[in-house]
Chain A
Amino acid sequence: MTIVVNQRRCIGSAMCTAVAPELFALDAAGLAEPLAERAEGELANALEEAIAVCPVAAIAAHRDA
């Protein structure tokens, strides 16, 4: 799974960093940024969690072809 963050949607609620600290941090502007390009296995579950809890649907996973 490729991690996609739409920073124009992100409001910096930081929910993703709470459920998936391995995958997300806040950048200097306080917006979410992925710490990795892809998430597999256990991390793919963490990515699904982050997508589920984001209040503004700013995170997506692109399934790799």
Chain B
Amino acid sequence: MRSGDATVVVGAGVAGVTYADALRAAGDERELVLIDAEAGLPYDRPPLSKALLDPTVAPERPLLRDPDHYRDRRIELLTGRAVVAVDTARRTVTLAGGEQLGWGRLVLASGRAARLLDVPGGRLDGVLRLRSFDDALALRAGLDRCAHLAIVGAGFVGAEVATAARARGLQVTVVEQAAAPLARLLPAELGTRLGGLYASAGVRLLTGRSVVALEGAGSVERLRLSDGGAIDADLVLLAVGTTPLAPPIDGIALAGPGISVDTSLRHGAAGVHAIGDVAARRDAERGAVVVEQWTAAVEQARHLAAAGGRPRPFAKAPYAWSQQFGRMVQLAGELRDAEAIVRFADGERTLAIGARDGVVAGAFAVDRPRHAIRARQLIERRAPWDEAVQELADAGETDAPVPAVSG
């Protein structure tokens, strides 16, 4: 057992490591332990779907920090150690093997796992997922001997891996159950514009269809689709979303989209918090909100460390970027349920903003980084819709606002 005022962080991804750093930077000198089920030094995940798949780049673990960094800051790393139980009354975590650690403050940043596809053949050889560094190495090796890659799911991971595979000259088919890419985040009109990027990159995108079976003698050879069609492929990447990873808390296994927290990222009142993509924030309007984005992990971690144990609502608008098919795709705020959308278009370069309750609520941009950032600032200060439209129109120089969806 450790001293009772230790800070224990479960999960050494970007959320956990950023939190530990921010505590130390704020002058908190208490004992600090970062635990992760995965062995080795903590690493960053965005490169896994990008640089790690590039055959001209050495396949090195994209370390978040050098080993000295943890030593210098007295951040104890316990990696390759799974937390199997949390007891909030006794204030302990139990590791696999039975060792217990006491804590005064517990931060759960345990992340998510990539979903499997529950269909016949879903576990054949050659059917991969992408979440960990080892997953990325396996995918890279698979791409090295692949001719036709099929990707199930047209989200961020699917699009980025499709980009990497096309750069290798592979034939790529993406199957998406929804009517357009990124359907969880974007209205169909904007998702369809993203679909255009797939086509211009030479990727075959099949939307509105799901995979009903994977077939092959030993290794995968074919995907059967819900419309009766079939696709030949010698490698399949499942990029169909995630499930939360968390130890049972007081004997209760996690149910629902993530670890339930309030707007100050507190889970209950016992000094337990959750940050990053495992956290499901209760929101008056939208219920439990899980933001699966690198930016949110970093910003929540820094927010919680800066709050210094006092309740302080986290209010940053979600923001994500993704490099897809040679273009910069950016999303800020919430767009899917927008009541009105105005689009500023200039060929494939796009900026769209959406309204909710009279204020600008979300933005989507393709190769319009400066405007995307300006839009995010407008979203964060809940700018009135007309003002946001005007400001972005003024900034858009050559752009004319094109009413796309209304009502």
A55 and B48 alpha carbons, distance in the complex (Å): 13
Residues of A within 8 A of B295 (CB): 15
Q: Is B298 an interface residue (CB 8 A)?
A: yes
Residues of A within 8 A of B294 (CB): 55
Q: Is B156 an interface residue (CB 8 A)?
A: no
A18 and B293 alpha carbons, distance in the complex (Å): 15
- Closest-by-CB residue of B relative to A53 is B298
| Partner of B370 from A11, A13, A26, A53 at Cβ < 8 Å | A26
| Partner of A11 from B44, B298, B319, B323 at Cβ < 8 Å | B323
A15 and B367 alpha carbons, distance in the complex (Å): 16
Q: Is the CB of B376 within 8 A of A18?
A: yes
**Smallest CB separation, B385 vs chain A (Å):** 22
Interface residues on B, range: 20 to 34
Q: Is the CB of A18 within 8 A of B323?
A: no
A36 and B32 alpha carbons, distance in the complex (Å): 36
| Contact A12/B44 with A26-B369, A30-B367, A53-B298 known, Cβ cut-off 8 Å | no
Q: Is A14 an interface residue (CB 8 A)?
A: yes
**Smallest CB separation, A47 vs chain B (Å):** 13
Q: Is the CB of B367 within 8 A of A55?
A: no
Residues of A within 8 A of B367 (CB): 30
Instruction: Give a binary string over B295-308; 1 marks a CB under 8 Å from any A CB, 0 the rest.
Output: 10011001000000
| Partner of B328 from A18, A30, A52 at Cβ < 8 Å | A30
A53 and B305 alpha carbons, distance in the complex (Å): 14
Residues of B within 8 A of A21 (CB): 377
Residues of B within 8 A of A52 (CB): 18, 21-22, 25, 302
Q: Is the CB of A17 within 8 A of B373?
A: yes
A34 and B302 alpha carbons, distance in the complex (Å): 23
Residues of B within 8 A of A30 (CB): 328, 367, 369-370
**Which residues of chain A in 8-65 are interfacial with respect to chain B, using CB atoms and an 8 Å cutoff?**
11-15, 17-18, 21, 25-26, 30, 48, 52-53, 55
Q: Is B216 an interface residue (CB 8 A)?
A: no
**Smallest CB separation, B373 vs chain A (Å):** 5
**Smallest CB separation, B13 vs chain A (Å):** 13
- Closest-by-CB residue of A relative to B21 is A52
Residues of A within 8 A of B18 (CB): 52
A52 and B377 alpha carbons, distance in the complex (Å): 20
What are 8 pairs between A and B in contact, CB < 8 Å?
A: A12-B328, A12-B369, A13-B321, A14-B321, A15-B295, A18-B319, A26-B370, A55-B294
List 4 other contacts, CB 8 Å, given A15-B295, A17-B373, A52-B302: A11-B328, A14-B373, A26-B370, A48-B25
Top 6 closest pairs, chain A to chain B, by CB: A30-B369, A14-B373, A26-B370, A12-B369, A13-B321, A26-B369
